[in-house]
Amino acid sequence: MTGTARILTIETTCDETAAAVIADDPQTGEIQVLSDVVASQDALHRRFGGVVPEIASRAHVERILPVVDAALRQANVTLTDLQAVAVANRPGLAGSLLVGLMAAKTLCLVGQLPLIGIDHLQAHIYACRIAAAREVFPCVGLIVSGGHSHLYRCQSPLDFTPLGGTIDDAAGEAFDKVATMLGLGYPGGPAISRVAQQGDPQRFSLPRPLLRDRERLAFSFSGLKTAVRYQLFGTGRQPAAELDQQPAAELNQQLVADMAASFQAAVVDCLVGKAVQALEQTGFQRLCVGGGVAANQTLRAALEAAAGHTTAGFELHIPPLKLCTDNAVMGAIAMERYRAGQFDRLDLDIGPGLVR
């Protein structure tokens, strides 16, 4: 494909309705972001302490057209100026994915445009390529979000191989659940990192699951979460649900801060340790990190330290916060598929689960 291409990208995998228009610069071939619109649903889910799938898909239905419209207007283009429509069709919440995919297919039919389905997790890694504005492949990709914690071997933007991931909870999910136990509210990640600043990360001795198994690139945060619960409330026989709702008033402020810091330190050790093991196993020298938990300052600092201190050292890419959380700009990975002439048929389906 030659000449300038403009692609509308749509993202509705979880609880953000997002659209963007991206173009490739005809001179340099670099990707330009012509618009970037995100409608967050945080306020709708907060009182439930997590994303409610049915509420999310209904909210996507209400927002998708205004969001797409805003993205086209902001970019000063109409459907006839586009060369393709891209949509994250996997993985994610089924109902949410369907809304984005149906919107994309409809726009393709109306505008006689080709459809490009993209993998949301690969797009998270591609956010590093956008932020860096230079080559970041080949690299190891680390995704740490509310729903995912995975490592990828990323040979090129068109060639990703899963290396391993969580065998139970995702990192962000563990942050959210521990925050609930500590009475810190939702979303828990930002709250834990805030109070952890006043805490002692060594006060509580918590496990680093699977970290010493150097062969296995996997995470496990469920046992760590349970270890937090036992240290806070003992190993009594109360049902788990009750313990999660334990009133924070029973926990003094310093104890909350110390547990938040100790828990955060354990998660960070696991994420950094496994990322370094993945770099060693692949022989790659770049690490690209994506997902909401990448906003965590302690994680960022530990990754930076590892990048400088591990035997061989490695090049670290973590996008700015806005590109770490769900957005449609990272859907620019579709431009790589467009250039390679890789399009999807209009009977493309959603893929809610992970392809391992």
Positions that interact with Zn ion (CB under 5 A): 145, 326
Q: How far is the CB of 340 from Zn ion (least distance, A)?
A: 24
The structure tokens 């310093």 sit at 254
* Cα distance between residue 154 and residue 282, in whole Å: 10
Does 296 contact ligand KG4 by CB under 6 A?
yes
Does 326 contact ligand KG4 by CB under 6 A?
yes
Contacts of 88 (CB under 8 A, 6+ apart): 10, 11, 12, 13, 97, 100, 117, 118, 119, 120, 123, 331
The structure tokens 């680093």 sit at 208
Cis geometry, peptide bond prior to residue 187 (ω within 30 degrees of 0): yes
DSSP assignment of 257-325: HHHHHHHHHHHHHHHHHHHHHHHHHH---EEEEESGGGG-HHHHHHHHHHHHHSSS--EEE---HHHHS
Does 187 contact ligand KG4 by CB under 6 A?
yes
Candidates 17-25, 67-75, 79-87, 189-197 — which segment interacts with ligand KG4 by CB under 6 A?
189-197
Cis geometry, peptide bond prior to residue 138 (ω within 30 degrees of 0): yes
Does 338 contact ligand KG4 by CB under 6 A?
no
Footprint on residues 2-41 left by ligand KG4 (CB under 6 A): 14
Q: How far is the CB of 145 from ligand KG4 (least distance, A)?
A: 3
175 binds, among ligand KG4, Zn ion, none (CB under 5 to 8 A by kind): ligand KG4
Q: How far is the CB of 30 from ligand KG4 (least distance, A)?
A: 25
Does 277 contact ligand KG4 by CB under 6 A?
no
Q: How far is the CB of 39 from Zn ion (least distance, A)?
A: 15
From the list 95, 114, 141, 146, which residue makes contact with ligand KG4 (rule: CB under 6 A)? 146
91 within 8 A of 51, measured Cβ to Cβ? no
Does 263 contact ligand KG4 by CB under 6 A?
no
Candidates 69-77, 95-103, 184-192, 247-255 — which segment interacts with ligand KG4 by CB under 6 A?
184-192
* Cα distance between residue 230 and residue 4, in whole Å: 58
Does 100 contact ligand KG4 by CB under 6 A?
no
Candidates 153-161, 187-195, 217-225, 273-281 — which segment interacts with ligand KG4 by CB under 6 A?
187-195
As given in the structure block, the two tokens for residue 299 are 């994680």
Q: How far is the CB of 11 from Zn ion (least distance, A)?
A: 8
- 113: nearest Cα among 84, 140, 134: 84
Candidates 73-81, 140-148, 217-225, 309-317 — which segment interacts with ligand KG4 by CB under 6 A?
140-148
Does 219 contact ligand KG4 by CB under 6 A?
no
91 binds, among ligand KG4, Zn ion, none (CB under 5 to 8 A by kind): none
190 binds, among ligand KG4, Zn ion, none (CB under 5 to 8 A by kind): ligand KG4
Does 318 contact ligand KG4 by CB under 6 A?
no
Pairing of strands 315-317, 286-290: parallel
Composition of the chain by helix, strand, coil, percent to 5 = 45, 20, 35
19 within 8 A of 68, measured Cβ to Cβ? yes
Q: How far is the CB of 248 from ligand KG4 (least distance, A)?
A: 17
Amino acid letter, 221: F
Q: Which is nearer to ligand KG4, 113 or 267 (CB)?
A: 267
Q: Which is nearer to ligand KG4, 180 or 282 (CB)?
A: 180
331 binds, among ligand KG4, Zn ion, none (CB under 5 to 8 A by kind): none
SS3 90: strand
Question: Which DSSP helix (H) or strand (E) runs through 140?
Answer: strand 139-144
Q: Name the residues that contact ligand KG4, by CB under 6 A.
A: 14, 145-147, 172, 175-176, 187-190, 193, 291-293, 295-296, 325-326
